[in-house]
Structure 1
Amino acid sequence: MEQEVLIVGAGPTGLALALGLEKQGVPFRIIDRNAGPGTTSRAMVVHARTLEFYRQLDMAHALIEAGIVEDAVHLYKNREEVSRVPLGEMGKGLSPFPFVLSLAQDIHESILVEWLKSKHILVEWNTELVAFDQQANHVEARISKNGRQDYSRFAYICGCDGAHSTVRKQLDIGFPGGTYSQMFFVADVVNEKPFKGFSAGFRGSDFKLALNIRTTGNVRLIGIIPDALLDDGPPEAFAPLIPHVEKVLPVKVGAVNWYSSYKVHHRVAENFRQGRAFILGDAGHIHSPAGGQGMNTGIGDAFNLAWKFAMVLEDRMNDSVLDTYETERIGFARKLVSTTDRAFQLVVGSRTVRNVVIPYVIPKVLKSSKLRKEVFKMLSQTKLSYHDSLLSSGRIGAMTAGDRLPWVQTHDGDNYEPLKSADWQMHVYGKPNSKIKRLSDTSGLPLHYTHWTKEMKQKGINRDSAFLIRPDGYIGVAATTDDTEVITRYIRQFDLRMK
């Protein structure tokens, strides 16, 4: 059987998949039709769950150092600040990264590319997938590199090649959804006034977003182009839009580094897998920019799939584990597109929501610490769970299999440090007994345990809980130290073996 995976597309999703496969020791080839990495900022927001994945690769610090931590959202009405929503306080205790990271996509990509280079892996630029055929035991791909075509065999092919995905189109997978009528703009500009950070501004029917980019003197601006400026199509330059922005937000636009207009789509592919072919990121789902979820969801796809490839290619689990990629990720994508669509329609369609609910009502509602935490969980994707997955079994206390392992600080660090192995492991919160120790010895599963504390109780973890943790940090089995049989059955069901 072929062992190499072909990754088509070297944006954040494809690069994250490459990093995940490298971590697992899976051979791969990553190609991209472009001449090199992107040179514009594009997606800006990196959420906590994505940083948790990068921590498993020991590289979260590299992204944080290159970005700007946005720990609050400032809300403006007619250029006057009316409230401040504290993101940092909302996520305190829920994640080692209780904030939104502002990081331009081109810088983000360059960090991932350099990380791969440090592992002696190069992206093949100017290299394009022409076509592929699936066979029983491999995929045969025709690849054009610098104008020359050749054929190569792979175990699997992954389309990380964007909304116009060649892989998805060749598979003839439908991409149902729609396109919003509004025309958006995005611009990166020099701001000549002091700027507090991540901001949302409202005035009449207009609203704009702004956040720091690269340095605190540069700002990303996002908004809808007014209909009055669309008579002859969207403006070719940003200049006509500057007065509209400066009426809504307390910024003073100087030099314009980049500007683009675009339409926003909301679509989810009918399938994320067909045989040995998989689609990830924008190839499988696109939606409104509400919440900055798009790029983060694609990176989540990549980390979900990478370890599953490793388990099958290394003969450590039966290949049914690959079926769970689509069931886990397509469900989340559909829910996300539906949620962001409703949020977008509310903001665009209701003056009351824009001018009253968001700037005045929501900040008051978020004074409730419980609601603040729930909002952070949703935005940061730390609430994402796989309860209905074939890989989820059991419940103990408030913890259900398929939940992300709650982050808990311990006397010598935290319970996420062992996740850097990106492999199966058992966690015990309390005192491990002879049963759980014996299971660890016979199965080869590493056993990590910590004394049970009140903080664990607050997070829904019962004393003497025993969790079988997946390589991506989600709970595969939720049990107790006295009920190891459920973990044993799980190991047998999936033929799980350790290295």
Structure 2
Amino acid sequence: MTEETDVLIVGAGPSGLTLAGGLLSRGVRVRVIDRAERASPHSKAITLWPRAFEVFEALGAGRELYDRSVKLAATNYYTGDRHIGRLRMRPLAGTRFPVPVSLPQASTEEVLREVVQRHGGRIEFGRCLESFTQDDDGVTARLTDGTEIRAGWLVGCDGAHSTVREGAGVSFEGATYPQSFVLVDGEYDTEYAHDESYYVMGRTGVIVVAGLPGGLYRFFASVPPGVEVEDAEAAVAGAVAENSPLRADSVKVAGSGVFRIHRKLADRMRVGRVLLAGDAAHIHSPAGGLGLNTGVQDAGSLAWRLAGVVRRGLNEAELDAWQEERLFVARKVVAEADQQTRMWMLKGWRRWLRDIGITLGVRTGVIERVLPRRMAQLDLVLPAQGPAAGRLRPGSRIPDVPPAGRGQHLYELLGGGHVLLTVGNAGAAALTGLGLPDDVDPDVLRIVTVPSHGASALGAPRQALCLVRPDGVVAAAATPSDRSGVAALRSRLLTLVAPAPAASRAR
């Protein structure tokens, strides 16, 4: 007997769990399977940035995860024994999660599993995808235990060795760094501050240090090419003894590992009714801590679109737009991580130039103003077309601030759907000419009026219309006097509230 569901998600890591929670909360039937027999207890990725927390908060879990974490107050750079800069992590504007944090992936997954279960879902551990076929109406998946599942959509969140990606025939091109890397999580008697991170670029490699909840630390170190590692704990201890400028004596080990780092990118994230997210689509160095964050944002951006396609007949072209956006972000993240990783390993005059650049950048405040916000992707503009209104342009992230006269932050008003902001009297008056149905579902679209004096906090002119997506990205914006801009915004609105008939949807 064939079992049925709307969406089958393969992989119960952060991306798969985030997607499952987002779909279930919108009334989509979901199955989540994972080849592992149980949830992983390992720390794995530990760095979280504001945009990931904003995705979690849309699921009702952002604040809990943020409160569990270690808030990072600064990042320190050493070259050998010499301290060349301390980058303060000043609170970032326009978000309720203003600093990067350290939190083990196991803790993040634990909370996300609770989200899935709260919405009636469950994670089926010990169930492995063997193969699948797809047609115009869905996907038939076969598991290794003989079970057959018929789903409208299949999403591979199954990591770097993705069965879904391989079955879909998607290439995964890139390279592997020549060095091995080792890490130890545990208790340390150390001079390293618990709420700061450290990059120590030493004679034989790099050491990265960060605090973890419960007073623990992570020590991560490179191993020179060609050196075989038999004992990760001994390798980390050796790297610390050789390169650390500060005392760090291991007291108790909580976990350790040896691994290689790759940089690879899928050439597609959608093949018909099969989609890829997270490490199944892109992997890279942990430099900057953007891997988990990028996968979570893949899932958060996909959830509202796929739910719209499944539940409301939203045009499937939205999934192609998602693919374009997420590949755009993945390319930037892979390049950023590669650049930072290579910077760790510089030698000779290049190392000297790097150290001068870091020192000057920190002393002048340039790095402090630019780097944290760039890593947080708060100013990243996604590929999109259409007119702008002030600083609000399609593809940009709108700040999460309280619209004037309201106690709630803007993202709290999204509620899983879109928000149409009418700014100023002219913006509100222009609403009548948009031709919206009288019975618009508030879970699909909410209309929020913002007085003119609240415009500047949003980056909007004093009179404007702005359509904001569930992920806080501007979908369309216009000033009331811009007729072509208003027409473009109206067209975008109607695709949401009056989706095309099934026969006209893109395949």
**When the two structures are superposed, what TM-score results if normalisation uses the length of structure 1?**
0.90
1:494–1:22 CA distance, 2 compared to 1 (3 A): closer
Q: Following the alignment from structure 1 to structure 2, what is the Cα–Cα distance between the partners of residues 398 and 18?
A: 33
Match of residue 113 from structure 1? 113
1:17 and 2:14 equivalent? no
1:435 and 2:430 equivalent? yes
Residues 405-439 of structure 1: per-residue CA shift (max 9 Å, x gap): 12334454454244441101201333343222564
Secondary structure at 1:176's aligned position in 2? strand
Q: Following the alignment from structure 1 to structure 2, what is the Cα–Cα distance between the partners of residues 195 and 346?
A: 22
Alpha carbons 2:201, 2:344 under 8 Å: kept = no
Alpha carbons 1:198, 1:211 under 8 Å: kept = yes
Paired amino acid for 1:116: V
Q: CA deviation at 1:269?
A: 0.8
1:234 and 2:229 equivalent? yes
Alpha carbons 2:61, 2:112 under 8 Å: kept = no
Secondary structure at 1:446's aligned position in 2? strand
Structure 1 residue runs of 4+, over 6 Å off? none
1:425 and 2:419 equivalent? yes
1:127 and 2:127 equivalent? yes
1:481–1:374 CA distance, 2 compared to 1 (3 A): farther
Paired amino acid for 1:422: G
1:374 and 2:367 equivalent? no
Residues 266-293 of structure 1: per-residue CA shift (max 9 Å, x gap): 1101111111001111111011111111
Alpha carbons 2:66, 2:97 under 8 Å: kept = no
Q: Following the alignment from structure 2 to structure 1, what is the Cα–Cα distance between the partners of residues 19 and 416?
A: 13
Q: Following the alignment from structure 1 to structure 2, what is the Cα–Cα distance between the partners of residues 367 and 425?
A: 42
Alpha carbons 1:85, 1:363 under 8 Å: kept = no
Map residues 165-204 of structure 1 onto 2, 5 A cutoff: 165-196=162-193, 197-204=196-203
Secondary structure at 1:177's aligned position in 2? strand
Paired amino acid for 2:415: S
Q: Following the alignment from structure 1 to structure 2, what is the Cα–Cα distance between the partners of residues 205 and 427?
A: 55
Q: CA deviation at 1:103?
A: 0.5
Secondary structure at 2:123's aligned position in 1? coil
Paired amino acid for 1:258: G
Range with bigger deviation, 292-301 or 434-443 = 434-443
Match of residue 259 from structure 1? 256
Map residues 73-88 of structure 1 onto 2, 5 A cutoff: 73-79=75-81, 81-88=83-90
1:417–1:274 CA distance, 2 compared to 1 (3 A): closer
Alpha carbons 2:388, 2:477 under 8 Å: kept = yes
Match of residue 217 from structure 2? 219
Match of residue 39 from structure 2? 37
Q: Following the alignment from structure 2 to structure 1, what is the Cα–Cα distance between the partners of residues 209 and 127?
A: 36
Residues 431-481 of structure 1: per-residue CA shift (max 9 Å, x gap): 343222564863634211323448x54764222121111122111101124
Residues 233-253 of structure 1: per-residue CA shift (max 9 Å, x gap): 213241243142144252222
1:64–1:474 CA distance, 2 compared to 1 (3 A): same
Secondary structure at 1:106's aligned position in 2? helix
Secondary structure at 1:215's aligned position in 2? helix
Residues 88-125 of structure 1: per-residue CA shift (max 9 Å, x gap): 34x2x232211111000111111111222233321001
Paired amino acid for 1:248: S
Structure 2 runs not aligned, ≥5 long: 501-507
Q: Following the alignment from structure 1 to structure 2, what is the Cα–Cα distance between the partners of residues 238 and 215?
A: 20
Map residues 303-314 of structure 1 onto 2, 5 A cutoff: 303-314=300-311
Residues 32-63 of structure 1: per-residue CA shift (max 9 Å, x gap): 01111111101001111101111222211110
Paired amino acid for 1:426: L
1:115–1:493 CA distance, 2 compared to 1 (3 A): closer
Number of aligned residue pairs: give it.
483
Q: CA deviation at 1:322?
A: 1.5
1:168–1:181 CA distance, 2 compared to 1 (3 A): same
1:476 and 2:475 equivalent? yes
Q: CA deviation at 1:68?
A: 1.0
1:339 to 336, 350, 355: 336
Range with bigger deviation, 322-331 or 43-52 = 322-331
Secondary structure at 2:211's aligned position in 1? strand
Match of residue 28 from structure 2? 26
Q: CA deviation at 1:493?
A: 5.3
1:59 to 37, 61, 85: 61
Q: Following the alignment from structure 1 to structure 2, what is the Cα–Cα distance between the partners of residues 428 and 346?
A: 46
Q: Following the alignment from structure 2 to structure 1, what is the Cα–Cα distance between the partners of residues 206 and 178?
A: 16
Range with bigger deviation, 457-466 or 99-108 = 457-466
Q: Following the alignment from structure 1 to structure 2, what is the Cα–Cα distance between the partners of residues 437 and 368?
A: 51
1:446–1:118 CA distance, 2 compared to 1 (3 A): closer
Alpha carbons 1:34, 1:125 under 8 Å: kept = yes
1:357–1:453 CA distance, 2 compared to 1 (3 A): farther
Match of residue 404 from structure 1? 397
2:52 to 39, 50, 53: 50
Paired amino acid for 2:266: A
Residues 311-359 of structure 1: per-residue CA shift (max 9 Å, x gap): 111224222112112111112212221232233223313455656635x
Map residues 274-285 of structure 1 onto 2, 5 A cutoff: 274-285=271-282
Q: Following the alignment from structure 1 to structure 2, what is the Cα–Cα distance between the partners of residues 221 and 461?
A: 44
1:323–1:495 CA distance, 2 compared to 1 (3 A): farther
Residues 179-228 of structure 1: per-residue CA shift (max 9 Å, x gap): 11111112112111243132222333532111111222x1111121145x
Q: Following the alignment from structure 1 to structure 2, what is the Cα–Cα distance between the partners of residues 185 and 496?
A: 53
Secondary structure at 1:395's aligned position in 2? coil
Secondary structure at 1:192's aligned position in 2? strand
Q: CA deviation at 1:369?
A: 6.1
Residues 11-51 of structure 1: per-residue CA shift (max 9 Å, x gap): 11111111111222211100001111111101001111101
Range with bigger deviation, 218-227 or 445-454 = 445-454
Q: Following the alignment from structure 1 to structure 2, what is the Cα–Cα distance between the partners of residues 437 and 351?
A: 66
1:254–1:440 CA distance, 2 compared to 1 (3 A): farther
1:420–1:194 CA distance, 2 compared to 1 (3 A): farther
Alpha carbons 2:186, 2:255 under 8 Å: kept = yes
Alpha carbons 1:477, 1:486 under 8 Å: kept = yes
Q: Following the alignment from structure 2 to structure 1, what is the Cα–Cα distance between the partners of residues 396 and 167?
A: 35
Alpha carbons 1:20, 1:303 under 8 Å: kept = yes
Alpha carbons 1:288, 1:340 under 8 Å: kept = yes
1:344–1:496 CA distance, 2 compared to 1 (3 A): farther
Match of residue 387 from structure 2? 394
Q: CA deviation at 1:82?
A: 4.5
1:368–1:449 CA distance, 2 compared to 1 (3 A): farther
Range with bigger deviation, 187-196 or 49-58 = 187-196
Q: CA deviation at 1:80?
A: 5.8
Q: Following the alignment from structure 1 to structure 2, what is the Cα–Cα distance between the partners of residues 120 and 174?
A: 35
1:488 to 484, 487, 490: 490
